[in-house]
């Protein structure tokens, strides 16, 4: 019982849209730090292993759920699983997309603010890294700044979403993702000309197996999960826009390759840039992007141009991810509540804005209000990233591997995909084994890690 719905215009459009979702802040501000902290090439190796054993099968599973049902995650889970439990799981994954989009936008808002700062040449004349840090904390303490750019960012995303699947999501990913690659290559080329670039690269690429603790393993696992936007309805929704005849196995492989390339090139660029100023440990997240890098951009020749390019790159990555987190609830409102696209995009944008406000205020007006010592932004991102996303991934995998059984999903495969599936029986059995046993166990380990069990034990 296929539902009437829009489809992607081309294969490349689908690949770029899924890549746009995958390539995001996690590639840019988290991956370089993880690589630097957990043994460089050694961490990269286990990360790749998890991408292959965990992320690739889940990505395929979610796309297949979408393609088979041609419905938003809530309806898709209902059609496949029936009963009360599965529709609830589907609704939770739609809700997860909504929750993620509310706080992802708050962080992306700081990037919008920094694109403006970079264009005003306001962030490339710092003498010390502390000055850069002070500048950031001054901006972030202003509630008008954080809430204002949160609004601006969401309006930008809504403009794209309003245009629909083909003219909005697909077309804009076709423009923004190639642009992102061009800027990334330019930044890497510039970084290669810096003094001590080689030292940074050598540090990054030499494996240090001694720091691969259980916590490092769990971190690689979490990163492999988050970077592909799994477990929150995005890939089910993007899969549901595939034409009946469309193939997806090779496309998904290509997406993982592009996502990994961006993470790796970004880590190389960051290390070459950071080592040029004798900094040998780098921080994660805001510390790297808003403190260390602006200070280094202030020192290197042509730094103000590099700063503009860098923040525009981060913004492009954030936009293409954010729209992919907003699309599942939009598709839900259209499919199940009969909303027009106009109203659905308005409702989700407005809702994400409202839910994002406490996050946007958590470093200024609401700074004193904490739950177990964590502010609202930390709490909601913890809930989304560490609990709801793995839960959504687990739901999708159990539904397909245990409840429906994988071979029954195969009637939605194109001829090409059937051929691939049948041509490599060994790979296929590894895939099915991962789906049934390895992935559920790994996700249970993620939950144990969230509860702090590994930190206690090791």
Which residues of the chain form contacts with ligand PHE (CB under 6 A)? 21-22, 24-27, 100, 226-227, 229, 232, 234, 321, 324-325
CA–CA separation, 104 and 98 (whole Å): 10
As measured in angstroms, the least distance from the Cβ of 27 to ligand PHE is 5
Q: Rg of the Cα trace of the chain?
A: 21
The number of beta carbons lying within 10 Å of the beta carbon of residue 405 is: 12
As measured in angstroms, the least distance from the Cβ of 171 to ligand PHE is 19
As measured in angstroms, the least distance from the Cβ of 293 to ligand PHE is 18
As measured in angstroms, the least distance from the Cβ of 180 to ligand PHE is 13
Q: Going by C-beta distance under 8 Å and a sequence separation of 6 or more, which residues neighbour residue 358? A: 366, 376, 377, 380
As measured in angstroms, the least distance from the Cβ of 32 to ligand PHE is 13
As measured in angstroms, the least distance from the Cβ of 323 to ligand PHE is 9
CA–CA separation, 119 and 96 (whole Å): 34
As measured in angstroms, the least distance from the Cβ of 1 to ligand PHE is 28
According to DSSP, residue 365 is labeled T
Nearer to ligand PHE, 232 or 359 (CB): 232
Nearer to ligand PHE, 132 or 177 (CB): 177
Nearer to ligand PHE, 58 or 300 (CB): 58
Nearer to ligand PHE, 269 or 325 (CB): 325
Nearest to 36 by CA among 320, 280, 244, 252: 280
Nearer to ligand PHE, 26 or 46 (CB): 26
As measured in angstroms, the least distance from the Cβ of 406 to ligand PHE is 24
Nearer to ligand PHE, 65 or 409 (CB): 65
Nearer to ligand PHE, 133 or 397 (CB): 397
Nearer to ligand PHE, 266 or 409 (CB): 266
CA–CA separation, 445 and 432 (whole Å): 20
Tally of CA atoms within 13 A in the half-sphere of 180 that contains its CB: 31
Residue written as token pair 């009969």: 338
Helix axes 249-275, 171-192, angle to 10 degrees: 30
As measured in angstroms, the least distance from the Cβ of 384 to ligand PHE is 8
Nearer to ligand PHE, 69 or 260 (CB): 260
Nearest residue relative to ligand PHE (C-beta): 24
Distance between alpha carbon 250 and the CA centroid of its chain, in Å? 20
CA–CA separation, 7 and 25 (whole Å): 27
Nearer to ligand PHE, 26 or 204 (CB): 26
Backbone angles phi, psi at 371, to 5 degrees: -115, 120
CA–CA separation, 220 and 213 (whole Å): 11
* Under 8 Å between Cβ of 231 and 392: yes
Calculate the alpha carbon distances from 302 to 40, 104, 176, 298, 322 in Å.
29, 30, 24, 9, 31
| Residue 374 β-bridge partners | 371
As measured in angstroms, the least distance from the Cβ of 226 to ligand PHE is 6
According to DSSP, residue 447 is labeled H
| Residue 371 β-bridge partners | 374
């Amino acid at each position: 019982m296929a539902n009437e719905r829009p489809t992607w215009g081309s294969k490349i459009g689908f690949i770029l849209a899924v890549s746009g979702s995958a390539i995001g802040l996690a590639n840019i501000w988290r991956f370089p730090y993880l690589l630097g902290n957990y043994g460089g090439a050694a961490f990269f190796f286990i990360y790749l292993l998890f991408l292959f054993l965990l992320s690739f099968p889940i990505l395929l599973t979610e796309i297949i759920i979408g393609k088979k049902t041609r419905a938003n995650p809530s309806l898709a889970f209902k059609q496949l699983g029936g009963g009360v439990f599965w529709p609830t799981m589907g609704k939770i994954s739609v809700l997860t997309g909504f929750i993620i989009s509310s706080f992802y936008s708050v962080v992306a808002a700081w990037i919008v603010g920094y694109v403006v700062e970079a264009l005003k040449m306001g962030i490339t004349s710092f003498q010390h890294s502390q000055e850069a840090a002070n500048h950031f904390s001054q901006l972030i303490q202003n509630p008008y700044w954080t809430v204002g750019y949160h609004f601006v960012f969401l309006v930008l995303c809504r403009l794209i979403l309003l245009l629909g699947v083909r003219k909005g999501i697909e077309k804009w990913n076709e423009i923004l993702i190639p642009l992102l690659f061009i800027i990334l290559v330019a930044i890497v080329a510039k970084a290669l000309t810096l003094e001590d670039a080689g030292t940074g690269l050598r540090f990054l690429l030499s494996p240090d197996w001694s720091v691969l603790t259980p916590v490092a393993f769990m971190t690689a696992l979490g990163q492999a999960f988050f970077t592909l936007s799994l477990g929150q309805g995005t890939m089910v929704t993007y899969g549901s826009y595939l034409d009946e005849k469309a193939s997806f196995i090779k496309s998904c492989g290509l997406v993982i390759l592009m996502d990994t390339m961006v993470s790796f090139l970004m880590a190389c660029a960051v290390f070459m840039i950071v080592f040029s100023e004798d900094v040998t440990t780098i921080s994660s997240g805001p510390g790297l992007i808003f403190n260390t890098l602006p200070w280094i951009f202030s020192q290197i020749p042509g730094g103000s141009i590099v700063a503009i390019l860098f923040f525009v790159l981060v913004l492009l990555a954030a936009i293409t991810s954010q729209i992919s987190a907003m699309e599942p609830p939009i598709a839900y409102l259209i499919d199940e509540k009969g909303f027009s696209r106009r109203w659905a995009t308005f409702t989700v944008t407005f809702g994400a804005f409202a839910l994002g406000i406490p996050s946007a205020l958590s470093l200024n007006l609401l700074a004193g209000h904490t739950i177990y010592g964590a502010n609202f932004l930390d709490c909601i991102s913890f809930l989304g990233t560490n609990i709801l996303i793995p839960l959504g991934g687990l739901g999708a995998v159990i539904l397909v591997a245990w409840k429906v059984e994988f071979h029954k999903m195969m009637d939605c495969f194109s001829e090409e995909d059937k051929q691939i599936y049948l041509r490599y029986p060994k790979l296929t059995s590894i895939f099915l084994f991962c789906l049934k046993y390895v992935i559920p166990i790994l996700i249970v380990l993620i939950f144990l890690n969230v509860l702090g069990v590994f930190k206690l034990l090791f």
